Structure 1
Amino acid sequence: MQKNIVIIGAGITGCSLAHFLANTGWDVTLLESQDDIASGGSGNPVAAIYPKFMLNDKAYNDFMLKSFMFTTAWIDKLGLNKDDYRFDGAIEILEEAYSHKLEINFSSGSVDQEKILISIDKPILKKYLMNQDLSGLLFHRGGWVNPIALCRHLVNHSNIKVLTNQKIISIEKLNNEWTLKTKNQKIFKSDHVAICNAAYLHQFDLTQHLHTDAFRGQINWVNSTPFQMPSIVICDEGYVAPLMQNKHIFGATYGMNDFNKDLRLSDTKKNIASIKKIHREFHNYCLAQKTISGRVSWRASTKDRKPYVGRVFNNELFKKMRVRELAQTDQLPWLDNLYVASGFGSRGFTFAPYCTFVLANLINKKLSKDDKGTLNYTNPERYRLKKMSLKKAASRIFKV
Structure 2
Amino acid sequence: MQKNILIIGAGIAGCSLAHFLANSGWNVTLLESEDDIAQGGSGNPVAAIYPKFMLNDEAYNDFMLKSFRFTTGWIRRLGLNEGDYRFDGAIEILEEAYAQKLEINLSRKITNKENFFSLINESILNKYLIESNSSGLFFHQGGWVNPIALCSHLINHSNIKIVTHQKIKSIEKSTDQWTLKTESQKTFNSSHVAICNASSVSQFDLTQHLHTDAFRGQVNWINSTTLQMPPIVTCDEGYLAPLIQDKHIFGATYAMNDFNKDLRKSDTKKNIASIKKIHREFYNHCEAQESIHGRVAWRASTKDRKPYVGRVFDNQLLGKMRVRELARADQLPWLKDLYIASGFGSRGFTFAPYCSSVLANLINDNLSQEDKKTLNYTNPERYRLKKMSLKKVASQIFKV
TM-score normalised to structure 1 length? 0.99
In structure 2, how many angstroms separate the alpha carbons of the residues matched to 1:110 and 1:264? Answer: 41
Alignment of 1:272-311 (within 5 A): 272-311=272-311
How many angstroms does 1:2 deviate by?
4.3
Contact between 1:2 and 1:191, CA under 8 Å: does it hold in 2? no
What does residue 329 of structure 1 align with?
Answer: 329
Matched to 1:175, the amino acid is T
What does residue 146 of structure 1 align with?
Answer: 146
Contact between 1:325 and 1:331, CA under 8 Å: does it hold in 2? yes
Matched to 2:72, the amino acid is T
How many angstroms does 1:220 deviate by?
0.2
Matched to 2:154, the amino acid is L
What does residue 136 of structure 1 align with?
Answer: 136
Instruction: Please state whether the residue corresponding to 1:312 is helix, strand or coil.
Output: coil
In structure 1, how many angstroms separate the alpha carbons of the residues matched to 2:388 and 2:76? Answer: 44
Question: 5+ unaligned residues in a row in structure 2: which ranges?
Answer: none
Q: Which moved more, 1:204-213 or 1:105-114?
A: 105-114
In structure 2, how many angstroms separate the alpha carbons of the residues matched to 1:24 and 1:122? Answer: 48
1:218 and 2:218 are equivalent in the alignment: yes
1:238 and 2:216 are equivalent in the alignment: no
Matched to 1:251, the amino acid is G
1:190 and 2:174 are equivalent in the alignment: no
Deviations 1:330-383 (A, max 9, x none): 110000000000000000000000000000000000000000000000000000
Instruction: Please state whether the residue corresponding to 2:201 is helix, strand or coil.
Output: helix
CA RMSD in angstroms comes to 0.7
In structure 2, how many angstroms separate the alpha carbons of the residues matched to 1:396 and 1:390? Answer: 10
In structure 2, how many angstroms separate the alpha carbons of the residues matched to 1:112 and 1:300? Answer: 34
Instruction: Please state whether the residue corresponding to 2:52 is helix, strand or coil.
Output: coil
In structure 2, how many angstroms separate the alpha carbons of the residues matched to 1:110 and 1:73? Answer: 17
In structure 2, how many angstroms separate the alpha carbons of the residues matched to 1:30 and 1:80? Answer: 21
The runs of at least 4 consecutive aligned structure 1 residues that moved more than 6 Å come to none
Contact between 1:194 and 1:338, CA under 8 Å: does it hold in 2? yes
What does residue 59 of structure 2 align with?
Answer: 59
How many angstroms does 1:110 deviate by?
4.8
In structure 1, how many angstroms separate the alpha carbons of the residues matched to 2:154 and 2:110? Answer: 32
1:47 and 2:47 are equivalent in the alignment: yes
Matched to 2:313, the amino acid is F
In structure 2, how many angstroms separate the alpha carbons of the residues matched to 1:104 and 1:230? Answer: 27
Deviations 1:207-260 (A, max 9, x none): 000000000000000000111111000000000000011100000000000000
Deviations 1:103-150 (A, max 9, x none): 111112153221211001001000111111100000000000000000
What does residue 247 of structure 2 align with?
Answer: 247
What does residue 368 of structure 2 align with?
Answer: 368
Instruction: Please state whether the residue corresponding to 2:262 is helix, strand or coil.
Output: coil
1:116 and 2:113 are equivalent in the alignment: no
Deviations 1:70-128 (A, max 9, x none): 00000000000000000000000000000011111111215322121100100100011
In structure 1, how many angstroms separate the alpha carbons of the residues matched to 2:115 and 2:350? Answer: 18
Question: 5+ unaligned residues in a row in structure 1: which ranges?
Answer: none
Contact between 1:10 and 1:37, CA under 8 Å: does it hold in 2? yes
Contact between 1:379 and 1:395, CA under 8 Å: does it hold in 2? yes
In structure 2, how many angstroms separate the alpha carbons of the residues matched to 1:126 and 1:396? Answer: 47
In structure 1, how many angstroms separate the alpha carbons of the residues matched to 2:232 and 2:249? Answer: 12
What does residue 7 of structure 1 align with?
Answer: 7
What does residue 257 of structure 2 align with?
Answer: 257
What does residue 23 of structure 1 align with?
Answer: 23
In structure 1, how many angstroms separate the alpha carbons of the residues matched to 2:75 and 2:243? Answer: 20
What does residue 178 of structure 1 align with?
Answer: 178
How many angstroms does 1:294 deviate by?
0.1
1:84 and 2:84 are equivalent in the alignment: yes
In structure 2, how many angstroms separate the alpha carbons of the residues matched to 1:8 and 1:167? Answer: 9
In structure 2, how many angstroms separate the alpha carbons of the residues matched to 1:230 and 1:102? Answer: 24
Q: Which moved more, 1:213-222 or 1:321-330?
A: 321-330
Deviations 1:176-235 (A, max 9, x none): 210000010000000000000000000000000000000000000000011111100000
Matched to 2:67, the amino acid is S
How many angstroms does 1:56 deviate by?
1.1
